[in-house]
Structure 1
């Protein structure tokens, strides 16, 4: 199996995607070719697609309950929604993306990877979407206040928002502490890994505080 931009550990693809390694390789190939050509992925990112993007996205799997409905807000090139769907065949995933070129790429990717039976591409903005989900995902989408404004309305009453963030995640949560308390929300910063030797992925998990 040829692995575009091979990860630092050769067996990592099989470890992270035990039932869909070949599909994961095809996805990375799409990112490295069409994704770069269409401007969805920066040219300098093509050599680190696995570690920085795909494994980073797949790591969120540990925070998603079994068999739930998930929406990836501002999905872009399908990160984190497609890696999550490849790793977790029990999930139903909606890739929500407002821009035509990105939505077209996502539709092609879902069909190419054989995910159309449980992954749906919806072209639209989060603020116009009227469906709720068990888990709302985002990755490097916006600062926390704006992100929650878009994502919280999409989370069901017992749902959660999982925001993949950078190293400033804890600072963001602390800065928003009063507003989170006012809205009766709990927020915690969680570190997860796709496999033991992978880099940490930092996730802000936000849930409503029970009445």
Structure 2
């Protein structure tokens, strides 16, 4: 029987070998889809530990990147016993780094974590113009639009993009993330929520759906 607490802690400690051993042994027992979903939640709880340690300064960006890769690897092990994933998509997130900013580490971490949480993520990449966000949003009708930026200038690009999205009548929740975002910046931009922590950002998206 899979010890969920041990699995959660192994993910939180970034012990890749332990996580894989636990999950491969679990899959060999031919668990039900419901049991596999519980294992996914345990892995996600481990990511919450990672996020907390990053906020405390005990983990660094490299650890976050590795954690995102570890979570993706864990989900891939579980996929054969998770059944038809098309039926459990939590929602669609349209994601991109805004115009004028070329950073993508935080965006990519958020993408990995969101996909592991059951979201379909459409990643537009970096330096994404407002019209590109709008065109794709009209095509795929996402529940959530995520905008990332590291540079201070990204705040004005986010504001411009949010205004364009609302003017186009696109009905989606908007979350922004990155080093320069604050409560004040979120209000200025016109976004629904903000985060500087990828794990927290996924939790917010889960609340919305």
Specify the TM-score bucket, using the shorter chain as the normaliser: 0.3 to 0.5
With the length of structure 2 as denominator, give the TM-score of the two structures: 0.41
Name the structure with the higher strand share: 1
Name the structure with the higher helix share: 2
With the length of structure 1 as denominator, give the TM-score of the two structures: 0.40
Larger radius of gyration: 2
